[in-house]
Chains A and B, each alone.
Chain A
Amino acid sequence: MKPGERVLRYVLLLLVLVISIGPFLWQLSTSLKSMREDIYTLTPRFIPEHPTFENYVKVAETIPVWAYAGNSLVVAVIVVGGNAIGATLAGFALARLRFRGGKLLLGAFLATLVLPGEVTIISQYVTIRSLGLADTLLGVALPGAIGMLNVLLMRTAFAAIPREMDEAAIVDGANAWQRLVRIGLPNVRGMLSVIVIFAFIGAWDDFLWPLIVLNDPDKFTLTVGLQYLNGTFSANPRLIAAGTMIAFIPIVIVFAVLQRFFFRGVEEGAIKG
């Protein structure tokens, strides 16, 4: 690569960097500005004059933001656990075990893919309500606790393991469970981590479904609580900014820590290419 091209590439990369993370940094900056600093001036400063965490304290006095974060975490943990276990077990059975009705079941899982989640969201709510779970965190978490797409992805991952490994284990007398634990799991760790990452992000970021299920402001998840705060016209932008960061920073940390699994998953085709 010529030096000129290299410089041009970095210039463009930096430009896109500003566009893609600039708004987040601006919001972070707003969240750290003190009440004395004018945030409406035509020439706002990027670096706060008197950086302070007081907005993070005050936002918690306006809405129970830490409780909301806890609620989001509860939902995310249920969704992650449910998907890791449910999708792994079903994916293994569909890929590696032969049983009557297996093909039919696989077809049914596949058929759900043409159905956007929004289409069934009303009757989903009716179901949750008749289970007595309306306005509960369990009701928010339950429908997504085993994603049909995740079952199919785990099946694809298990199917990629060479048959011979299974057959050798069968000759050695290993039962289905032993084959799942000793042969299956070590070979599907990549896909499993992608599913875990996305289940967490999906549950933490979700808005429409908790908005429909939850009524009681004490039970809000972070996204619903943040919209609630944002919708109050009198709310101070510094406090809203602090709330945004409380919702945003955990997901960035999760992604930053696990991103190497994610980009490896991209290469393995877990994310469509």
Chain B
Amino acid sequence: MTAGHGTLGRARGDAGSGRHVRPEPVPRPGRKPVANQRWFTPWLLVAPAAIWLAVFNVWPSINTVVLAFTNAKPIGGGHFTGPANFRRALNDDQLADALLNSVVFMLVCLPLLTFLPLLLAVLVEKRLPGITFFRTAFYTPVIASAVVVAVIWGWLLNEQGMINGIARQLKIIQEPLPFLTDRWLLLFSAISLTVWKGLGYYMIIYLSALGNVRRELHEAAAVDGAGPVRRFFAITVPGVRNTMLLISVLISVSALRTFTELYVLSKGTGGPGGRDMSVVMLIQMYSRGFTGHLGYASALSILLFVLTIGPMLLLLRLNRKEA
């Protein structure tokens, strides 16, 4: 869903906030009656999806590699330039900043989004009256567009916004903090809203994993006098260990893919001196206008692919193992 949030290779329009496939083996009993099926019937049924696969997945993948070795512009260009784009990337200060931003994103998001949603899931696990309402409400930030969320937080974090207002009322600060115009504060604001938006998403994943943690273990531990905190660390956490690993990989990938939060909070500028860009923001920036450079944007796309392929393959493996 998010968008942006931990998605496993989601193409746009792929049902939202990243569900993962759990391919199940088709049971095959020994003998089957033969269907009266014309040879082309299966092809007729898969044709639309196969066309989409070819035109919007396979071809763009090939073309990205081709474009990365050209000087293609939004208007004109398109000559072979060898590894020039990659050489340019090596000396691109803005790209270095973007990669640093991704690392910071990852380091802050990983602990917060691996643990807080688990606590939330434990909180909403018990079927108390009204619990469906609370679950749905906690999930609301996930279904909202990242643009909507970032516009709202932009208003809250503004120098005249509510957060500065409350902090000044409580005399925590004298002067308003420049949450949206300082290089690091802006990055941390984007991170905060990513965490806020991600809580419900990972909560739901944990919630369905908690269903598999055996209830007897909790009961036995309670009989033995283990308190809730003890049981959380001794039973719940080990019980969802695989899910925790899966979620931390999802978070790492989504830190690399971040775009909308930074774009909207900085009103498209990328912050002071454009230092609050992400890799995807750079790709978008080079896709447009007279200063655009589709070749360079494609080289950056390949870099993004190289950075995400490891975690992505790990995700596929984890999914298969859990199936």
Main secondary structure on chain B at its contact with chain A?
helix
Chain B contacts for A30, CB-based, 8 A? 155
Interface residues on B, range: 35 or more
Chain B contacts for A122, CB-based, 8 A? 64, 67, 283, 287, 294, 297-298, 301
Count of A-B contacts judged by CB separation below 8 Å? 400
Q: Which of B86-94, B100-108, B134-142, B182-190 contacts A (4 or more CB under 8 A)?
A: B134-142
Q: List residues 239-257 of chain A with CB under 8 A from any CB of chain B.
A: 240-241, 244, 247-248, 251-252, 255-256
Given contacts A21-B137, A115-B9, A167-B33, contact A266 B207 (CB under 8 A): yes
User: Which listed residue, A83, A163, A240, touches B15 by the CB 8 Å rule?
Assistant: A83
Q: Chain A 87-117, CB within 8 Å of chain B: the 1/0 string?
A: 1011011110111001001001110111111
Report the bound CA distance from A83 to B139 in whole Å: 24
Given contacts A13-B123, A42-B168, contact A20 B141 (CB under 8 A): yes
The chain B residue with its CB closest to the CB of A134 is B74
Report the bound CA distance from A211 to B146 in whole Å: 13
Chain B contacts for A119, CB-based, 8 A? 61, 64, 301-302, 304-305, 308
Given contacts A171-B33, A207-B147, A231-B268, contact A202 B128 (CB under 8 A): no
Report the bound CA distance from A247 to B12 in whole Å: 18
Contact between B128 and A116 (Cβ–Cβ < 8 Å)?
Answer: no
Contact between A97 and B11 (Cβ–Cβ < 8 Å)?
Answer: no
A137 within 8 A of B: no
Contact between A127 and B55 (Cβ–Cβ < 8 Å)?
Answer: yes
Chain A contacts for B18, CB-based, 8 A? 272
Report the bound CA distance from A98 to B37 in whole Å: 10
Report the bound CA distance from A202 to B209 in whole Å: 24
| Sample of 4 more A-B contacts, CB < 8 Å, known A89-B46, A113-B312, A115-B57 | A117-B12, A119-B305, A143-B52, A202-B12
User: Which listed residue, B20, B64, B141, touches A272 by the CB 8 Å rule?
Assistant: B20
Contact between B36 and A123 (Cβ–Cβ < 8 Å)?
Answer: no
Most buried by B among A82, A108, A248: A248
A51 within 8 A of B: no
Contact between A153 and B15 (Cβ–Cβ < 8 Å)?
Answer: yes
B13 within 8 A of A: yes
User: Which listed residue, B23, B145, B153, touches A156 by the CB 8 Å rule?
Assistant: B23
Contact between B137 and A266 (Cβ–Cβ < 8 Å)?
Answer: no
User: Which listed residue, A19, A42, A197, A230, touches B169 by the CB 8 Å rule?
Assistant: A42
The chain A residue with its CB closest to the CB of B266 is A231
A6 within 8 A of B: yes
A201 within 8 A of B: yes
Chain A contacts for B287, CB-based, 8 A? 121-122, 125, 212
Chain B contacts for A114, CB-based, 8 A? 9, 309, 312-313, 316
- Chain A residues in the interface with B (C-beta under 8 A): 1, 6, 9-10, 12-13, 16-17, 19-21, 23-24, 26-27, 30, 40-44, 79, 82-83, 85-87, 89-90, 92-95, 97-99, 102, 105, 108-110, 112-127, 141-153, 155-156, 159-160, 162-164, 167, 170-171, 173, 175-177, 180, 194-195, 197-199, 201-209, 211-212, 222-223, 226-227, 230-231, 233, 237, 240-241, 244, 247-248, 251-252, 255-256, 259, 263, 266-267, 269-273
A77 to chain B, nearest CB (A): 12
Pairs across A and B, CB under 8 Å, 27 listed: A21-B140, A26-B156, A79-B13, A86-B48, A90-B46, A113-B8, A113-B312, A116-B253, A122-B294, A124-B60, A144-B13, A148-B57, A149-B9, A149-B10, A159-B26, A167-B32, A170-B32, A170-B34, A175-B37, A195-B15, A207-B260, A208-B259, A208-B260, A227-B264, A252-B143, A267-B208, A269-B22
B3 within 8 A of A: yes
Contact between A266 and B45 (Cβ–Cβ < 8 Å)?
Answer: no
Contact between A145 and B160 (Cβ–Cβ < 8 Å)?
Answer: no
Report the bound CA distance from A21 to B137 in whole Å: 7
Contact between B16 and A176 (Cβ–Cβ < 8 Å)?
Answer: no
Main secondary structure on chain A at its contact with chain B?
helix
Contact between A113 and B21 (Cβ–Cβ < 8 Å)?
Answer: yes
Chain B contacts for A256, CB-based, 8 A? 136
Q: Chain B 277-309, CB within 8 Å of chain A: the 1/0 string?
A: 000100110011000001001100110110011
Chain B contacts for A83, CB-based, 8 A? 13, 15
Contact between B49 and A144 (Cβ–Cβ < 8 Å)?
Answer: no
Contact between B144 and A248 (Cβ–Cβ < 8 Å)?
Answer: yes
Chain B contacts for A205, CB-based, 8 A? 1-3, 16, 143-148
